[in-house]
Amino acid sequence: MDREYLMYLLENYFGRIVGVVIGFLIALIFIFFGFWRGLITIILMGLGFFVGRFWDKEKRLPDSIEKFLPPRR
């Protein structure tokens, strides 16, 4: 495959390519860990992703956590 064709595929089918890769990785997790352990692994990975995203935006984890907690009295 030449470089132009790969760039065409990435520009026009990026979402599909990412979806297939993510689906393949989830299938591997289920195969290696089993359904329930795989499901817990995926949930914890998602939780870690969201914590990391908030940490990147706020630059401090306590500030991000305080947004979800009720105000102090």
Asked whether residue 56 carries a pLDDT value surpassing 90, the answer given is no
Backbone angles phi, psi at 40, to 5 degrees: -65, -40
Q: Token digits for 5?
A: 């064709």
Residue carrying the six token digits 């997790």: 29
CA–CA gap between residue 64 and residue 46 (Å, rounded): 16
Q: Which of 23-27, 34-38, 56-60 has the lowest mean pLDDT?
A: 56-60
Asked whether residue 58 carries a pLDDT value surpassing 90, the answer given is no
